[in-house]
């Protein structure tokens, strides 16, 4: 009998957000609202649709394996050399490439927990030890929702090859600020790679939350990871990118790239999105304004809500998470529960969020939240 590696056999399945059409059919309603996957509610940018249509005639050819046009556009945008930029099939694929490029069996990969759920899975697949450093309350008396950078730095030892800092953090939405992050970066040994995972960077409104690309400058062991899936609205096309201060780091990540994994359509769409930055900024401003309204509505209902810097809010409802999410689904609202910890709710349109709030009001007594 052929058997997979034990590390693979024991991997839990990744749980994507549920399809709203499936839920609507299941419970017999016309429409369900999905607030589970941190997608933006806006349709694709007009320039993106045009670019995809124009590129469709080339899909009988392989994509540009080096994504030269996209890489050049990103390099110009951030004032770096193209050799410092790596594109990939979504940010999560680049996380996997980092794990493959810098960890060996028996080495360690460190990160806060709870954070992006793929980190421990990728460590396990690479054979690395996953060092999970617990979150701490971001404010007195609050739930654990924020990176403990001091503890994370202390957890780095001679075996640690990679540290991920998810900023803003997924799923809690909190972000670490400039001074503590600079102290952390200065404390990490020069032979340990720090990846600042900034998938939600565009939604940051706190001026004291630094742009990781600024902190990367002059630090050869720092790289920044970003995506087109969130603010740029390309979740269905899968495009991410990594920018490294040291071109050798980028080269190592590039070597584990799956050939042709960023499609022709994805590359064309990402370039067109970058050229539509002003429209993206307007959309992001609408999302962050709605985020503040949604947070205020939830706080007004007596729920604890951290100051999110992402396009979602976190409800630390503990053991009630699974039951509350199930109750909301019975009202045709899909959220993302983390059993025993909380629920992540994507910021939707005002109408979608009102549907969520109404459903929450109806099911909350039954779920005994708060």
Q: Are residues 294 and 250 in the same domain?
A: no
Which pLDDT score, from 0 to 100, does residue 370 have?
47
Is pLDDT at 234 greater than 50 in this prediction?
A: yes
Q: What percent of the chain has pLDDT above 70?
A: 98
Q: Are residues 292 and 333 in the same domain?
A: yes
Placement of tokens 């054979």 in the chain: 127
Q: Are residues 151 and 266 in the same domain?
A: yes
Task: Show which of 245, 274, 303 is a domain's final residue.
Answer: 274
Q: Point out the least confidently predicted range of 22-26, 130-134, 193-197, 234-238.
A: 22-26
Residue 366: pLDDT band with limits 50, 70, 90: low
CA distance 226 to 205: 17
Q: Are residues 28 and 55 in the same domain?
A: no
Question: Between residues 370 and 98, which one has the greater pLDDT?
Answer: 98
**Number of domains the chain contains:** 2
pLDDT digits (tens, 9 = 90+) for 43-60: 999 999 999 999 999 999
CATH number of the CATH domain containing 258: 3.40.640.10
The residues, ordered by sequence, that sit 6+ positions from 94 with a Cβ below 8 Å of its Cβ are 86, 88, 225, 240, 241, 242, 253
As a whole number, mean pLDDT of residues 200-228 equals 98
Helix (H) or strand (E) segment spanning residue 60: none
pLDDT digits (tens, 9 = 90+) for 138-173: 999 999 999 999 999 999 999 999 999 999 999 999
Q: Are residues 263 and 176 in the same domain?
A: yes
Residue 180, domain extent: 46-274
Task: Show which of 256, 274, 292 is a domain's final residue.
Answer: 274
Question: Between residues 1 and 132, which one has the greater pLDDT?
Answer: 132
| 5 CB-side CA count, 13 A | 7
First to last CA, the chain: 51
Which pLDDT score, from 0 to 100, does residue 361 have?
97
Q: Are residues 166 and 303 in the same domain?
A: no
Is pLDDT at 288 greater than 80 in this prediction?
A: yes
pLDDT digits (tens, 9 = 90+) for 89-146: 999 999 999 999 999 999 999 999 999 999 999 999 999 999 999 999 999 999 999 9
- On whether residue 1 sits in a domain, the answer given is no
Q: Are residues 288 and 190 in the same domain?
A: no
As a whole number, mean pLDDT of residues 295-317 equals 97
CA distance 116 to 165: 10
Which pLDDT score, from 0 to 100, does residue 357 have?
98
């Amino acid at each position: 009998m052929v058997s997979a590696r034990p590390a693979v056999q024991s991997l839990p399945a990744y749980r994507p957000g549920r399809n709203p059409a499936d839920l609507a059919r299941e419970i017999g309603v016309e429409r369900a609202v999905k607030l589970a996957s941190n997608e933006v509610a806006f349709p694709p940018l007009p320039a993106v649709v045009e670019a995809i249509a124009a590129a469709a005639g080339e899909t009988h050819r392989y994509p540009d394996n080096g994504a030269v046009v996209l890489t050049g556009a990103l390099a110009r945008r951030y004032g770096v050399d193209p050799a410092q930029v790596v594109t990939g099939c979504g940010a999560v694929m680049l996380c996997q490439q980092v794990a493959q490029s810098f960890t060996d069996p028996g080495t360690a990969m460190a990160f806060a927990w709870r954070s992006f759920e793929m980190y421990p899975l990728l460590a396990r697949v690479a054979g690395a030890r996953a060092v999970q450093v617990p979150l701490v309350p971001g404010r007195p008396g609050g739930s654990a929702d924020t990176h403990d950078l001091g503890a994370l730095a202390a957890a780095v030892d001679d075996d640690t090859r990679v540290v991920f800092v998810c900023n803003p953090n997924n799923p809690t939405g909190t972000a670490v600020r400039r001074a503590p992050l600079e102290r952390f970066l200065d404390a990490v040994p020069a032979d340990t790679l720090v990846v600042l995972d900034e998938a939600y960077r565009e939604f940051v409104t706190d001026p004291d939350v630094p742009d990781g690309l600024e902190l990367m400058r002059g630090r050869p062991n720092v790289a920044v990871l970003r995506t087109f899936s969130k603010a740029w609205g390309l979740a269905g096309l899968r495009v991410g990118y990594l920018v490294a201060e040291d071109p050798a780091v980028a080269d190592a990540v590039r070597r584990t790239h799956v050939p042709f994994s960023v499609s022709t359509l994805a590359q064309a769409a990402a370039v067109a999105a970058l050229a539509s930055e002003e429209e993206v900024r307007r959309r992001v401003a609408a999302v962050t304004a709605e985020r503040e309204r949604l947070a205020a509505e939830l706080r007004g209902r007596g729920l604890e809500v951290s100051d999110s810097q992402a396009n979602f809010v976190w409800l630390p409802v503990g053991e009630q998470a699974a039951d509350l999410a199930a109750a909301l689904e019975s009202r045709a609202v899909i959220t993302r529960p983390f059993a025993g910890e909380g629920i992540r709710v994507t910021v939707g349109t005002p109408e979608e969020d009102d549907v969520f709030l109404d459903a929450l009001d109806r099911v909350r007594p039954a779920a005994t939240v708060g």
